[in-house]
C-alpha cells in the first residue's frame, strides 16, 4: 500500500500591484494641470507685454484676467510650436544628420575599450581605502553634476518660457503691422473711429483695451496711442460695414 505524498500547500495567488492607481493618476493629473497653468500664464503675460512694447505702449495700462492670459498663452505656445515644426521640416536633412551623429557618439561611448579589463584588475588589487575613496569621489562628482544639471535645466526652462512669450508677442506685432500697411479698405482687421461728444478724435486699428484705456494704431498719425476711454464712443468703419452688409445680403439671395 503506497503512502500518500505530502505536497506543500500552494501559496495563494497574489497579483502584482498595478503600476498606476487612481490615486497616482489623480496626483499626476493635478501636477500636469498646475504646471500647464503656470506655463500658459507666463507665456501669455510675456506675449502681452512684448506685443504692446512693440507698439511703444505701456502694458500696465491694459491689465488682463487669468483666463485671458491662459487662452493667449495657449495660442502663443501653439504659434511657436508650429513655427518650430515648420523649421524642422524645412531642415529635415540637417536634423537627421544631427540625430545620426548623436547615435554614433553614444554608440562609441558605450563600446568598452581595451583598457577596461586592466582598470578593473587594478581596482580589485588596490587597498580597501583606495577603492572607498574612489567610490566616494565618484558619487560626489555625480551628485554635484546632477545638481548642476538640474539648475541648468530649470534655468533653460525659464529662458525658454521667456523666449516663447517674447517671440510670440513680437511675431503678433509684425503680423499686425503687415496687415495695417494694406489700409483700412483691404486689411482683414477693421478700422474703428473713436468719438468724444460726437466728434471724431482718432481713426485706426484697435490694439487693446481695458476699463480705463483704449490702445489704437492711428492711421493718420502712423503711430500707436493709449487714449483714456472716459466718454469715448467706438464706431466701426462705415465703408467696411457697408461692404460686409452688402456681401452678406448678396450671399443670402438665391
pLDDT at position 246: 46
**Rounded to an integer, what distance in angstroms lies between the CA atom of residue 244 and that of residue 190?**
11
pLDDT at position 252: 44
40 neighbors 19 (Cβ within 8 angstroms)? no
Secondary structure of residue 156 in the 3-state scheme: helix
pTM over 0.85: no
Strands 232-236 and 223-228: unpaired
pLDDT at position 250: 45
pLDDT at position 118: 55
Which residues make beta-bridge pairs with 224? 217
Strands 191-196 and 199-209: antiparallel
198 phi-psi bin (left φ>0, alpha ψ -120 to 50, beta other): left
pLDDT at position 119: 54
pLDDT at position 204: 92
pLDDT at position 16: 63
Alpha helices in the chain (DSSP H): 22-54, 66-90, 92-110, 116-125, 128-180, 238-252
Mean pLDDT in order along the chain per 10 residues (254 residues): 56 61 80 85 89 91 88 81 78 80 71 55 69 78 80 80 85 91 88 90 92 92 91 76 44 45
Amino acid at each position: 500500500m503506497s503512502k500518500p505524498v505530502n505536497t506543500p500547500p500552494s501559496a495563494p495567488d497574489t497579483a502584482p500591484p498595478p503600476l498606476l492607481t487612481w490615486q497616482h493618476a489623480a496626483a499626476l493629473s493635478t501636477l500636469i494641470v498646475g504646471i500647464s497653468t503656470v506655463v500658459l500664464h507666463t507665456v501669455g503675460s510675456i506675449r502681452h507685454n512684448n506685443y504692446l512694447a512693440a507698439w511703444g505702449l505701456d502694458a500696465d495700462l491694459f491689465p488682463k484676467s487669468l483666463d485671458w492670459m491662459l487662452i493667449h498663452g495657449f495660442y502663443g505656445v501653439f504659434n511657436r510650436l508650429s513655427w518650430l515644426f515648420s523649421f524642422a521640416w524645412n531642415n529635415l536633412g540637417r536634423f537627421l544628420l544631427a540625430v545620426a551623429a548623436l547615435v554614433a557618439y553614444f554608440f562609441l561611448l558605450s563600446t568598452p575599450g581595451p583598457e577596461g579589463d586592466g582598470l578593473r584588475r587594478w581596482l580589485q588589487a588596490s587597498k580597501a581605502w583606495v577603492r572607498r575613496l574612489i567610490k566616494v569621489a565618484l558619487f560626489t562628482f555625480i551628485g554635484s553634476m546632477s545638481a548642476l544639471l538640474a539648475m541648468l535645466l530649470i534655468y533653460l526652462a525659464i529662458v525658454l518660457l521667456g523666449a516663447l512669450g517674447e517671440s510670440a508677442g513680437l511675431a503678433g506685432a509684425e503680423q499686425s503691422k503687415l496687415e495695417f500697411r494694406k489700409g483700412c479698405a483691404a486689411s482683414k482687421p477693421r478700422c474703428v473711429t473713436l468719438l468724444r461728444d460726437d466728434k471724431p478724435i482718432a481713426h485706426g486699428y484697435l490694439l487693446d483695451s481695458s476699463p480705463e484705456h483704449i490702445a489704437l494704431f492711428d492711421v493718420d498719425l502712423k503711430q500707436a496711442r493709449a487714449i483714456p476711454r472716459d466718454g469715448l464712443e467706438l464706431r466701426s468703419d462705415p465703408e467696411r460695414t457697408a461692404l460686409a452688409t452688402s456681401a452678406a445680403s448678396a450671399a443670402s439671395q438665391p
